[in-house]
């Protein structure tokens, strides 16, 4: 594996502003002043000893990056890499004999710029979050927008070097549950989107696959996401979704015996959607020892769809007014898992949490099959008119293509289209 390591925040703890003059090359840092993370030297040494090709890719100034890369980590490096632009990294890798199209590459970093760069390079990414781990505060109005790096959709998430090492050596074992299921693998990972611990209960949000726009590594599964709403969706698609969810639920009893879940339910579709009851069908296919129950139903007289309510406030209000609890006995004092198809703003999750808490629920785990990650454009230019191309997905069959978006689709391009294999 080719392993690209970010420097600041990934190997050294230089978040404090006092390091800025060093990073910018204004003054020279001395080796003994470099705040190396505990375990970082061993992490790099292990990767190298295991035969991986390891490089540092940093946006900081050359003299600073050189001093640290060569003297502390004994690695070759690229400084002033200009993330998330790919040109310098591509040139550096090509000089080292790395072929970005064929070689297996994984990028490890702590910021959205790293993940952004990784997606443009179409390589796997590990979001390594060694600090800033105090995400316990909870504010409904914030939604989840602060979690920018997760919104960039890394392939993997790690809180320590051991997990990152595990991922580099066994990448398929660590895929998100549905992304693994799509490859026929039994993985059980989820993106931990939200954790809230009150003295007497917890609320958590977990997502089982990424739904990407634009460039991404090959593990992402927007293709399957679009099949959920497709009237001609196949049994195979439903099977992948159900298997991913089943694996994740099974892992809950293995890894968190602490919480006993009383009931597993889903966010239903209105009977007017096509295909009808699309979540119900997936829900029925999910295998779990947790008792299933239908907690929610929609008011009879609603006309608009939740999907038409675009912003956070409107979605919350829509759910508040129209989603009903069938029987309070299913909720009062219970630990409840709710599954839904997609996380976008988080409005659905938080509105459902509110409703369940008002009805006396205890712990709540909200799971979504997919979460929408931010769009990442790559650097491809239209060969006809020179404007930047967008990557689009054909919603019928999930294939991706480049589009020089014409006016009728909201762009200013010439309409040129090129398929992506
Ligand atoms: Zn064009």
Ligand 1 centre distance from Cα of residue 127 (Å): 35
pTM for this predicted structure = 0.88
Summarised one tens digit per residue, pLDDT across range 41-70 is: 999 999 999 999 999 999 999 999 999 999
In angstroms, the Cα distances linking 30 to 19, 27, 36, 183, 387 are 12, 10, 12, 48, 46
Summarised one tens digit per residue, pLDDT across range 288-334 is: 999 999 999 988 766 666 666 667 888 888 888 889 999 999 999 99
Q: What are the b/e assignments for 395-412, b being 16+ CB within 10 Å?
A: eeebebebbbbeeeeebe
220, 221, 226, 232: CA torsion to nearest 10: 160
- Do 205 and 343 meet the contact criterion of CB atoms below 8 Å apart? yes
Ligand 1 centre distance from Cα of residue 410 (Å): 14
Ligand 1 centre distance from Cα of residue 418 (Å): 11
How far is residue 362's CA from residue 329's CA, in Å, rounded to a whole number?
13
In this structure, which residues have their CB less than 5 angstroms from ion ligand 1? Answer: 382, 384-385, 404, 413-414, 416
Summarised one tens digit per residue, pLDDT across range 105-128 is: 999 999 899 999 999 999 999 999
Neighbouring residues of 38: CB distance < 8 A, sequence distance ≥ 6: none
């Amino acid at each position: 594996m080719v392993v690209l390591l970010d420097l600041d925040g990934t190997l050294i703890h230089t978040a404090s502003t006092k390091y800025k003059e060093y990073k910018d090359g204004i003054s020279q840092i001395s080796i003994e002043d470099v705040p190396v993370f505990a375990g970082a030297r061993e992490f790099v040494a292990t990767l190298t000893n295991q035969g991986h090709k390891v490089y540092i890719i940093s946006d900081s100034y050359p003299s600073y990056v050189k001093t640290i890369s060569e003297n502390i980590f004994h690695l070759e490096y690229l400084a002033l890499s200009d993330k998330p632009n790919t040109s310098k990294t591509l040139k550096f890798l090509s000089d080292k004999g790395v072929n970005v199209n064929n070689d297996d590459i994984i990028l490890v970093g702590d910021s959205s710029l790293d993940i952004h760069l990784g997606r443009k390079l179409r390589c796997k990414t590990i979001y390594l979050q060694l600090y800033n781990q105090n995400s316990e505060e909870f504010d409904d109005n914030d939604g989840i927008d602060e979690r920018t790096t997760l919104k960039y959709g890394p392939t993997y998430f790690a809180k320590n070097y051991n997990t990152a090492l595990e991922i580099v050596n066994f990448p398929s074992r660590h895929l998100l549950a549905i992304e693994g299921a799509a490859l026929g693998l039994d993985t059980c990972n989820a993106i931990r989107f939200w954790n809230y611990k009150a003295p007497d209960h917890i609320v958590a949000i977990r997502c089982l696959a990424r739904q990407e726009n634009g460039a991404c590594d090959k593990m992402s599964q927007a293709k399957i996401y679009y099949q959920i709403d497709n009237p001609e969706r196949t049994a195979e698609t439903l099977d992948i979704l159900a298997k991913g969810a089943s694996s994740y639920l099974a892992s809950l009893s293995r890894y968190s015996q602490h919480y006993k879940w009383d009931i597993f339910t889903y966010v239903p579709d209105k009977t007017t959607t096509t295909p009808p009851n699309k979540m119900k069908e997936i829900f029925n296919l999910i295998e779990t020892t947790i008792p299933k129950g239908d907690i929610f139903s929609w008011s009879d007289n609603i006309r608009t769809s939740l999907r038409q309510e675009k912003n956070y406030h409107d979605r919350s209000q829509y759910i508040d007014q129209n989603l009903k609890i069938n029987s309070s006995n299913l909720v009062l004092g219970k630990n409840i898992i709710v599954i839904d198809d997609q996380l976008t703003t988080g409005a659905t999750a938080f509105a459902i949490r509110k409703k369940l808490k008002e009805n006396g629920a205890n712990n709540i785990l909200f799971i979504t099959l997919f979460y929408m990650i931010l769009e990442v454009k790559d650097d491809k230019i239209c060969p006809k008119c020179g404007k930047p191309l967008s990557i689009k997905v054909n919603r019928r069959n999930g294939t991706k293509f480049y589009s020089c978006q014409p006016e009728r689709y909201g762009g200013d391009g010439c309409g040129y289209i090129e398929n992506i294999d």
